[in-house]
Structure 1
Amino acid sequence: MQHFTKILAVSLALTVGIALPSFAEDAKAKPFTDAKEVNLLELLSPPPANDSAQMKAELGEILTIQVTRTPAMEARAVADAEENVWRFADVIDNPKFTKENLPKFSAFFDRIVETEDTVTGPAKKGWNRPRPHLYSDLVKPVVPLSKSGSYPSGHTTLGTLMGIELANMLPEKKAALMARAWEYGHNRVVGGIHYPTDIEAGRIAGTVIASDIAGHDDFKAEFEAAKAELRTVLGM
């Protein structure tokens, strides 16, 4: 029936010349807030200038890590390039912690992922800090490359935001979850794709976003449903 409805909508649009809705967009998760409400360009300090001593010092930190990181560290950084809540499975430590078992929880964190991207995107574009490998050809990242602005780190913003929400759902594991969120961000420096100040800014951004959306009614409702589902499935 749904397929027939879509076909009918397409036919009607072609007949009367109206704008055709995008069914793909209908399935996209909706962010809990946006860059107008959480304007990181106003909330965060600007990144170090390209010709500053701070920039050169941070490049030195990246290059030091580059020659000292182990294969295990590299593998961890590569794995953490994934932007989803399932990277916290090692802390949750329960075989039932899967997308299939947690549909409400999964949908909630899909919105969290979309929220991070919506908020950090304009700031990254506005400052347009060059990624380490674009700033110096001495940097050899081991994670997927990106040409988007480096500041703030979107991965770190997301990791911090996910860590906070998970810790609020599972306070028994708060310390371990937040430590994992911190590692998730740091692995962007280990991977050679971000500077340390990108990570610091991402942690601030993630915390600010978490504080902002906590007051939204839709967030409150979906958070409680996701929390209840998670604790039930995990037997907590």
Structure 2
Amino acid sequence: MSMTGTAVRAAHVSLLALLALCGQALAQAGEAQPKVTDPHFKIAPGYLKRSDLPDSLVLLGAPPAADSAALARDEEARKTTIPLRNTARWKLAITDADLAFPQAADNFSCAMGVRIDGQQTPRLYAMMQKMLSDFGLSTYGVKNKYNRVRPFVVHNEATCRADQEAILRNDGSYPSGHTAAGWGWALVFAQINPERADALFKRGIEFGQSRVICDAHWQSDVDAGRIMGAATVARLQTDPTFLADLKAAKVEVKAAKAKRLPSTAECAAEAAALSAQ
């Protein structure tokens, strides 16, 4: 059956309207996807939808302004770390900067008292990778808005990881995604292994401080990163997939305590590095 000219025109107008709506929806979807510079936060899909992540634009203010007391605090914190360069603590900051696996898991194995890996604790190992995306992505609203310049760029220095500097130069300093991940992991690990909670909290704090020692972040970046890490962990507590993995990880870790442990030598070296500050 043929269509009348009026019907054809009406169908054409409807099609144009539909295309316009699709274009608007795609544009809005594009706006909802922040630019993510650090490839570590794309290792595995996270637990949370982007729309369900805590919003750093709501939770955080702007980074310290020029000539402010807050920036002076940042500069002072940076100066206190200069004597640590090329020490054992500096070397620990180098490994803490590596969010790739298995190093990211190794960074917390001593504090956990259990070797975190794909063989002994596969569920926990996979959880770390998924949470990493959630922690990192939670920081990018503010990162992209302010695009704060990192301390090593401001002071024309090197970081503890020359191989990462090209990415860091184009990735906003505030807040610290590494810190969000380290503190978030520590909080979840303490849920899984509460007997080691204090050691895990301490390691999570020092993981963030490694970013200041490395000259990759300001202290206020690290402080803000901890806020985003904690907020993301709180949000994860409502996700059924995360909660199922958390339950399974508790079983894994309980079984692993009687099996493969981190070496006493590497844990002694880590403890010495952390105490030598």
Q: Same fold by TM-score, threshold 0.5 exceeded? A: yes
2:44 alignment partner, one of 29, 41, 48 = 29
State which structure, 1 or 2, has the greater radius of gyration over its C-alpha atoms: 2
Residue 55 (structure 1) shift:
1.9
Say if 1:80 and 1:57 are closer, same or farther in 2 by CA, change over 3 A: same
Partners of 2:175 and 2:43 lie apart in 1 by: 24
- AA partner of residue 193 (structure 1): A
Amino acid at match of 1:132: P
Deviations 1:17-40 (A, max 9, x none): xxxxxxxxxx96221224433111
Q: Who is 2:160 aligned against?
A: 142
**3-state SS, counterpart of residue 36 of structure 1:** helix
Counterpart amino acid of 2:182?
Answer: G
The CA deviation at 1:51 is 4.4
Q: Deviations over 1:178-200 (max 9, x none)?
A: 00000000011011111111111
Where does residue 86 of structure 1 map in the other structure?
A: 106
CA distance in 2 between partners of 1:36 and 1:81 (Å): 28
Contact 2:45 2:130 (8 Å CA) reproduced: yes
Runs of 5+ consecutive residues of structure 1 not aligned to the other structure = 1-26
Match of residue 106 from structure 1: 125
1:176 to 175, 196, 199: 199
Residue 125 (str. 1) matches residue 144 (str. 2):
yes
- Residue type of the partner of 1:141? T
AA in 2 matched with 1:140: A
Which residue of the partner structure matches residue 15 of structure 2?
A: none
Alignment-derived partner of residue 75 in structure 1: 91
Matches within 5 A, 1:220-231: 220-231=243-254
AA matched with 2:93: A
* Distance in 1, Cα, partners of 2:223 & 2:50: 19
**Runs of 4+ with >6 A deviation:** none
In 1, distance between residues paired with 2:82 and 2:111?
27
CA contact (8 A) 2:56 2:138 kept: yes
Measured at CA, do residues 124 and 35 of structure 1 come closer, stay the same or move farther in structure 2, by a change above 3 Å? farther
Q: 1:222 to 1:80 in 2, by over 3 A?
A: same
**Closer, same or farther in 2 for the Cα pair 1:222/1:49, shift >3 Å?**
same
Shift of 1:235: 3.3
**Identity score, percent:** 27
Provide the secondary structure at the position in 1 that maps to 2:137.
helix
Opposite residue 41 of structure 1, the aligned amino acid is: L
Q: Name the aligned partner's letter for residue 49 of structure 1.
A: A
With normalisation by structure 2, the TM-score equals 0.69
Q: What is the CA distance between 1:73 and its match in structure 2?
A: 1.4
